[in-house]
Amino acid sequence: MEADNGIEVEGLVREYRKGPRAVDGIDLTVAPGEIYGFLGPNGAGKSTTVHVLTTLLPPTAGTARVGGFDVVKEGPKVRTLIGVALQEAALDPLLTGRDHLRLQATLQNVPKSKRAGRAEELLHRVGLADAADRKVAGYSGGMKRRLDLALALVHSPKILFLDEPTTGLDPQSRSALWEEVSLLRREAGVTVFLTTQYLEEADVLADRVGIIDQGKIVAEGTPAALKAEIGRPSLHAIPRRDADRPEIEGFLARFGEPLESSRDVAIRLRDGLGLTDIVRAVDADGVDIADLELRAPTLDDVFLAKTGRTLEGATEEAAVEHGAGG
Amino acid sequence: MKLWPVVSGVARRTLKNALTNPQIVLPTMLFPLFFFTAFAGGLSQLRHVPGFDFPPGYTAFQFVFVLLQSAAFSGVFTGFGVARDFENGFAKRLLLAAPRRVGIVLGYALAALLRWAVVATVLTIVAFAVGMRIGGGPVDLVGLYVLAMLVNFCGFFWAGGMAMRFRTIQAAPLMQMPVFLVLFFAPVYVPLSLLQGWIEGVATVNPLTYVLETGRGFIAGNPPHVLAAFALAIGMGVAFWWWAFLGLRKAEAAGG
Amino acid sequence: MRTARQPASFIPPLIFPVALMTVNAAGLRSSTHLQGFPTTSFLAFALAVPFIQGALFSTMNAGTDIARDVQTGFINRLSLTTLRNWALLVGQLSGVVALGIVQALFYLAVGLTAGVHFASGPAGILVLLVYAALVSLCFGALGAFLAYRLGSGESIQAMFPVLFVFLFISSMNAPRNLIGVGWFKTAATLNPVSYMIECVRSLIIVGWDPEALLLGFGFIVLIGIVSLALASRALRLRMTRT
């Protein structure tokens, strides 16, 4: 490992007893100072990967090095380098926010003289200064997530793991957290490994994205490169009447491959065709369509192209099969 | 990587929870006082049973049992806290933040010891206030409290080991019942020589019997089989430490 | 019905008192050598305790069950029906009384199997069962009162140590005349639980002791009247509030 705050994973497998392979042989590299977005539906293996990389779970097979240290053989060294905010905030309801920060600072061996100041600074930074001396039992879900983030930052870690940090947050808190993560990378050069099931989050925040489904990485690259790989835009037509749907499907099939969509009739446009070609054909054939829309590829399209399912659909499936959790 | 920050951090937090929340502090404090009152007060006439020979009196006789009982149960109650931490996910924070995780177990153990120290202080004051007489000197008393401290470690390491294996507070009866049985299968009310029937057989093979008898000997000023009692207490402490350490390994393998 | 469906509510009241009695009977056997001890069998002396201890468990169980009804809003829904308050209270306590009788039969069986001789004979056993039912009803009513008043199962559970104080600071482990510490003897004499235990104990080891029976029945009837009145009032208040 050439730098001291990157992540390298080779052939990582994690099997649960009597369960499927939650992580099924993944390889990935995160460069120092990079924000890596790990995108996938619930139950895809995101959280399990984070648990292994943060030394919370031992891998069944494969190797992982975080900050240059092996997560199995050099767990204590890994833990001094990383900050972690898990999906379910690991907090004690009987302690106050300030108690948590002091405890975390002690555990991470922050010098005694700096502990109180660091706690105060972080409480202000995450907007919890007023609630600092209240027991966590009375915090809202959003407040708990913010405290969890502050705790992850107490010892100024070089590598930050954020497991679905914005799930359950209101849009304002979500934007604030995105801003905070960008700032950490920009000003402190922190490497960020972020899991999410939100396409927009991965798109906005991540330098590179790994898409995981059923324990395997199905695509990896910058958001722009992944979308460019899909290349062609999709065309969405809204029928005026439901009865017109078969006719529109037949008509559009001439211009590209059909896409699954319950809301409209959609196709992936063939190379060389544009919206004007379709509009001309609609006029010429006298097809009755309420609205036509051309959409640039999204990460959801990438997911669809790689797995045959939409991210939303896969999340719902996972919820039915296993309940939430990654 | 230093161990002490983890030990002190976990101990301070656990102790704060234990001493500032009435639902945790009251049972720890009240149960020993209550047992002491009920046993020393209600059964004091047992000193007149033929063959009962304990010069300092029945209050001192029961004080030693209740002191050891409070030591064991302060450990067990701290084990409940460990189970609660695993159940509500807080243990994950400790596992993630502590460079050396063995410090987490030692931190809980230190909290159990300090928690018992508070109980033992109150219990001792109450015992002297109600007129407890002692025959032993300062060295004997130190011996008694060191023995009780070892019982406290055994109680915690046993319960903590269970807590880290089951990781739910529903395992509380499994942590508590064996300790309760070991305590009550010792000569609680009268010396071993006055027990009859099945309880005599059980008490004779119960290691706590010898710790209890030595403890009572310390307070009377003529402790019997001191080396054997300390060897047993230290041996059990080491065995239960290993049990707790393996419990930590199980919890680590399960991801907290 | 609900009581029978929940093992957690009827197994501990059966097992724990018997376990405690077994351990105490073994450890305190030498008490019978004390001058003035009323029997040569400590087991016969101690057998009275589970009857009262089991009833104390009933208080907790009845209270916790009824508090759950309050917390889940079941009581609120009943307040919308034409069901009368006293009928609701009787319904909720009937399970506790049935459980009390089952417990008493179990303790009797344990005692008889262990060779305890009942000095008052079969008629005494019948009186004992009636007393056990009465104690369960009265303590159950106390549990119901606490539940209607506090409305939380956790608060009821927190009362548990208080009930244990009443049990332990009594003539549970020694006859009152053999309690040597003055203040303890006074507390045990003022504690009605002492008279309940002594009532049951007299049927087992003495035979027919009018004074013990009168005091035992007198105290439990008094506690019952007060508890039922308080429970009924607390229920009425809760129904009005909803």
Choosing from A179, A211, A227, the residue where a domain stops is A227
The type of residue at B239 is: A
Chain position carrying tokens 């009196």: B57
- A178 inside domain: yes
Q: When comparing pLDDT for A324 and A67, which is higher?
A: A67
Q: Do B189 and C23 touch (CB under 8 A)?
A: no
B-facing residues of A in 210-239 (CB < 8 A) are none
Identify which of B4-8, C57-61, C152-156 has the greatest average pLDDT: B4-8
Tally of structural domains, chain A: 2
Distance of CA B130 to the CA centre of its chain: 23
Q: When comparing pLDDT for C205 and C62, which is higher?
A: C205
Query: Measured between CB atoms, which of A80, A90, A92 is closest to B1?
Result: A80
SS3 A11: strand
Q: Which residues of C touch B48 (CB under 8 A)?
A: 34-35
A-facing residues of B in 49-108 (CB < 8 A) are 85, 88-100
C163-181 mean pLDDT: 88
- Contact call for residues A306 and A297 (beta carbons, < 8 A): no
- A319 inside domain: no
Element (H, E) at A23: strand A21-30
- Judge if A210 and A256 occupy the same domain: no
Q: Where are the domains of chain C?
A: 43-241
- A101 inside domain: yes
Nearest CA in chain A to B24: A94
Chain position carrying tokens 């078969």: A246
- Judge if A103 and A239 occupy the same domain: no
Q: Give the model's pLDDT for residue B63.
A: 97
**Tens of pLDDT along A202-244?**
888 999 999 999 899 998 999 888 877 766 788 889 988 888 8
SS3 A187: helix
- A144 inside domain: yes
Q: Give the model's pLDDT for residue A325.
A: 42
- Judge if A182 and A268 occupy the same domain: no
pLDDT at A2 over 70: no
- Judge if A245 and A210 occupy the same domain: no
Q: Do C180 and B44 touch (CB under 8 A)?
A: yes
- Contact call for residues C24 and C46 (beta carbons, < 8 A): yes
Domain that residue A188 falls in: 7-227
Q: What are phi and psi of C84, to 5 degrees?
A: -80, 150
Q: Give the model's pLDDT for residue C81.
A: 67
Q: Give the model's pLDDT for residue A317.
A: 65
Question: Of B27, B67, B44, B57, nearest to B183 (Cα)?
Answer: B67
- A215 inside domain: yes
pLDDT at C8 over 60: no
Q: Give the model's pLDDT for residue C163.
A: 77
